[in-house]
Amino acid sequence: TDACLAAIEGAGALNAVVHGTPDKAREMARAADARIKSGDATPMTGIPLGIKDVFCVKGVPSQAASRILDGFKPEYESTVTQNLWDAGAVMLGKLNMDEFAMGSANENSCYGRAVNPWKAADGRELTPGGSSGGSAAAVAADLCIAATGTDTGGSIRQPAAFTGTVGMRPTYGRVSRWGVIAYASSLDQAGPMTKTVRDAAIMLGAMASVDEKDSTSADIPVPDFEAALTGDIRGKKIGIPREYRVDGMPAEIDQLWQKGADMLRDAGAEIVDISLPHTKYALPAYYVIAPAEASSNLARYDGVRYGRRAKLGQGDGITEMYEKTRAEGFGPEVQRRIMIGTYVLSAGFYDAYYNRARKVRALIKRDFDEAYAQGIDSILAPATPSAAFPLGAMDQADPVQMYLNDVFTVTLNLAGLPGISVPVGLDKQGLPLGLQLIGRAFEEGELLNQALVLE
């Protein structure tokens, strides 16, 4: 804990930690020490963690990197963080992210950008990815041993790939969403961001629980994920989905994918060609469904219940209060998503957009069901279409350019499946690249065991 606190002090330029809690960390570390001495430690006892700002931590600012939650200190603890503290983990502080987890570069944050500890060959600063950019940067720069993330459309796996770390999104329902500030409730899922696959297995085991406070928490016991790590994947069937070979995919991503397939084959797995025919509709369906749910979830920020309220002028009534508070409290990307969301849910367009996207979502899920019904154990694909890009590279771009970054990650969120991104190689500049394995629902142990082979 002391080493991490010192590293955080020296790493202000990364802007990864947005609210440090050093006193709390030292106190928790002392308690962990005592627990270890008394012989009742868990593998998480005394492990210093960073917590993405989207998790409510009692008495600590928790604002999902949004100005609209300025001053909000929750009166309650998220189930995930409570589970981690119960296991003896130590809280170092809150980590940077995109506002309300909307973004792929950690550039939509009220705290400013987070910076990737890896640098481009020409010295330019790079994005750590998003939305869990602060988590990925903090793990990669050794500011913490591991961090929590959330993944609605790739926000754990893409930043992990951009920083050479491991990121796992569990099956929807495996980890409680209670006390996690909502973005798109049918897609959101918290997961571990770590340095190794083994750490991910240990941390997922501590985060997961059946939770009556979350009605979508699955009533399925949490197995010992670490015990599943045998390294034996002989006879497993791993699918290579041909539709992920998108136009203009850089040769180095293709080579990385080939390398991953070879590693799995060398370990005794069978590599098979599969088809997920509706893949190309995943991105548009995601960018209808996620904003629709976001527009509804963000309606609660009204200047009354939480956080910030705008200063009002003479004669301003409640409507002006709402309008001014929301106009100054939400950043531009969040406002864009609210507008898209309310548009696709509006009476005149509901069938054309939202309902159609839901139907497409069902087809995407069916693609996976059919692949798994053929005996496929997992699916191997790139995590991202490129290595980390320079900070600000997308500033002038059309927002759709940024959305295209999520082409490989959003599909499994629509299907509710688990996925893990593992660093497998470097691009020609020497920057990390990740591959992802997509698993069967609630078989994270199996997935982690296969991921071990890619490490």
Contacting residues toward ligand GLN, per CB under 6 A: 101-104, 131, 150-155, 183, 290, 406
State the minimum distance, in angstroms, from the CB of residue 66 to ligand GLN: 13
Whether the CA torsion 357, 362, 367, 369 is positive or negative: it is: positive
CB of 365 to ligand GLN, least distance (A): 18
| Cis omega (within 30 of 0) for bond into 135 | no
Question: What are 181's two structure tokens?
Answer: 């500030």
| Nearest-angstrom CA–CA distance, 323 and 365 | 38
In the complex, the smallest distance separating the C-beta of residue 108 from ligand GLN, rounded to whole angstroms, is 8
CB of 83 or CB of 158, closer to ligand GLN: 158
CB closer to ligand GLN out of 90 and 338: 338
Q: Are 133 and 359 in contact (CB under 8 A)?
A: no
Can you spell out the DSSP letters for 260-296?
A: HHHHHHHTTPEEEEE--TTGGGHHHHHHHHHHHHHHH
Minimum distance between the CB of residue 22 and ligand GLN, rounded to whole angstroms? 28
- Residues 174, 51 contacting (CB under 8 angstroms): no
Instruction: Tell the smallest beta-carbon distance from residue 104 to ligand GLN (Å).
Output: 4
Q: Which residue is nearest to ligand GLN (CB)?
A: 155
Cβ closer to ligand GLN: 60 or 290?
A: 290
Complex with ligand GLN: residue 303 or 419, whichever CB lies closer: 419
In whole angstroms, the minimum distance from the beta carbon of 98 to ligand GLN comes to 7
For β-strands 48-52 and 90-95, DSSP reports them as: parallel
- Smallest distance, ligand GLN to C-beta of residue 13, A: 24
Which residue lies nearer to ligand GLN by CB, 17 or 290? 290
In whole angstroms, give the CA distance from residue 447 to residue 374. Answer: 17
- The SS3 assignment for 93 reads strand
Where helices occur in 304-417 by DSSP H, the ranges are 318-329, 332-345, 356-373, 399-403, 410-415
Residues 6+ apart with CB under 8 A from 22: 5, 92, 93
Nearest CB to ligand GLN, comparing residues 85 and 244: 244
DSSP string, 379-395: EEEES-SSSPPBTTTTT
- Give the number of other Cβ atoms within 10 Å of residue 277's Cβ: 14
Contact call for residues 229 and 197 (beta carbons, < 8 A): yes
8 Å CB contact between 422 and 354: no
How far apart are the C-alpha atoms of 48 and 39, rounded to whole Å? 19
Q: How many residues does the chain have?
A: 455
Active site residues: 52, 131, 155
Whichever of 188 and 446 has its CB closer to ligand GLN, that residue is 188
